[in-house]
Amino acid sequence: MTVGTRARRPHVHATGAASTAVRPLLDAPRRAARVLAAFPAGAYLQVRTDREPSVIALLASGATRLPNAVLLAGEPPRLTVGDDASVGDGAVRLGRLSLRASRWWDPAPPLGEADPAALREAAAGLTAGEPALAGEPAVELLASGCASGRLLDVLTAAERLVGLGPGLTPSGDDVLAGLMVTLRLLGAATGAGRAVWLADWLAATVTYDARTRTTPLSATLLHCAALGQASPEVAAVLRALTGRGPLEPALRRLHRLGHTSGSDLAQGIGIGARSVLSFCPSGSFRSREYA
């Protein structure tokens, strides 16, 4: 080694499994990013981009698989909030680590066809646990708006709920995420086109200025939910509602997410399932139009 120089530390190359939701970010030209949050199971990276998703979750394989995640084959690197990174040109780069996706998964898998009668029976077993916003007027307005078919009430409630509550994913956002995913995926599974139509309206309202009203991570997850993208725990409950698995264990796994996130998501799923049923051919509201 030449005197007065230091040996360069070699780069570490790793692979992981990535959500197709983040593929546009990984395939785009390289952009600067920073560590938004760091914890033992991984980290959240905020990318400097005007598009969504703008936050990527780098997670250990045993962590909750968020729809915007890249799962690491080994232990996540030790990171500090504010560390510089970059995303694009096919890789995530953090210091000496260069991470590429070796395989992909779909965070919005289709549920297949569902029998509305079976869905109605399964939905009776839905429980929300102890959602943080129990008794919140905006949630009650959201539920009654979906049940009674009043679009104005639904969108007014959604406006009030975006960013409501503390934490990286406020409770109001979790309720809306559970609702949007349920409307889109269960609506498609049952042929309830009006439920998908309602999901489109909610998506436009909730994502319009989410970045200015909630946390960066939650804004990204709302954009994912607007497209029907969710964690496996949410997808398992929706599959159970279509008769493709037991409901109780799926709900227990969902309720264990975060401090109240699981229960908040379950509350949104319950509102969404009842709304989908109202639009099914056998539903009592099938001829009702939104006001």
User: Across the chain, what does the average pLDDT equal?
Assistant: 90
Q: CA–CA separation, 240 vs 190, rounded Å?
A: 14
Q: CA–CA separation, 86 vs 56, rounded Å?
A: 11
Residues 145 and 269 in one domain: yes
Q: CA–CA separation, 133 vs 155, rounded Å?
A: 18
Judged against a pLDDT cut of 50, whether residue 151 lies above it is answered with: yes
Judged against a pLDDT cut of 70, whether residue 286 lies above it is answered with: no
What are the C-alpha distances in Å from 255 to residues 110, 237, 265? 23, 11, 8
Query: Last residue of some domain: 74, 105, 136?
Result: 105
Structure tokens at 161: 């709920």
pTM over 0.95: no
Q: Is residue 5 part of a domain?
A: no
Domain range enclosing 68: 12-105
What are the C-alpha distances in Å from 112 to residues 77, 118, 202? 38, 14, 23
Q: Which of 287, 268, 69 is nearest to 184 (CA)?
A: 268
Judged against a pLDDT cut of 80, whether residue 3 lies above it is answered with: no
Q: Is residue 111 part of a domain?
A: no
Amino acid at 178: G
Amino acid at 116: P
| H or E stretch at 212 | helix 210-213
Residues 163 and 97 in one domain: no
Residues 25 and 83 in one domain: yes
Structure tokens at 135: 């008794």
φ/ψ of 189, rounded to 5, equals -70, -30
Please list, in sequence order, all residues whose beta carbon lies within 8 angstroms of the beta carbon of residue 93, skipping any fewer than 6 positions away: 30, 85, 86, 87, 99
Mean pLDDT of 129-152: 91
| Total number of residues shown for the chain | 291
Query: Last residue of some domain: 105, 128, 151?
Result: 105
Residues 125 and 238 in one domain: yes
Q: Structural domain tally of the chain?
A: 2
Q: CA–CA separation, 178 vs 231, rounded Å?
A: 10
Judged against a pLDDT cut of 50, whether residue 12 lies above it is answered with: yes
Q: CA–CA separation, 22 vs 58, rounded Å?
A: 11
pLDDT for position 115: 85
The dihedral over CA atoms of 86, 38, 65, 213, expressed in degrees to the nearest 10, equals: -80
Q: What is the distance between the terminal CA atoms of the chain, rounded to a whole angstrom? A: 77
Judged against a pLDDT cut of 60, whether residue 164 lies above it is answered with: yes
φ/ψ of 27, rounded to 5, equals -80, -15
Q: CA–CA separation, 55 vs 223, rounded Å?
A: 11
